[in-house]
Amino acid sequence: MQVHLSWSDGMKFEGQADGNSVGMDAKAPLGKNAAATPKELVALGLGGCTAMDVIALLKKYKQMPRTFRVDVNIESSTGVQPVVFLGAQITYEVEGDVASDRLLEAVRLSQTKFCGVSSMLAKVIPIHYNVKLNGQEIGTGQASFT
């Protein structure tokens, strides 16, 4: 994998990866908050990686949700530099006619076998998750890769 970054002005950069673009900026006062910060992009990468795993597995299981949302909450250090991630909480929210055992299996496989971003981050921070189906929490766990 190779990516490229081009500086535009202030703290704003445009990243290029395989023909796709993403903007980056810093929060004020250094930047103008015109795009996601690099740490926010890491959090989005974590959410995107596991979300893609889960939806791909649900498709394989013929268990398509009506709606599917993944929220990632990152706990960060404060008062010291550099600010680093201390932990992550991922919440999967699914609505629709989906079998709870299949949904839990898809999330478990993502967080123990398939999600490369979770696997990398889990080496340095705990990643906990909870799963909600039609508004009810049906399971919790922690990323664990061997």
Q: What percent of the chain has pLDDT over 70?
A: 100
What are 64-110's pLDDT values in tens digits?
Answer: 999 999 999 999 999 999 999 999 999 999 999 999 999 999 999 99
Strand partners for 75? 87
Closest CA to 118 of 82, 72, 67, 55: 72
The answer to whether residue 146 scores a pLDDT higher than 90 is: no
Topology given in CATH for the domain delimited by 38-142: GMP Synthetase; Chain A, domain 3 (3.30.300)
- 10 Å Cβ neighbour count for 65? 18
How many CB atoms lie under 10 A from the CB of residue 44? 14
Instruction: Give the domain ranges of the chain.
Output: 1-35, 38-142
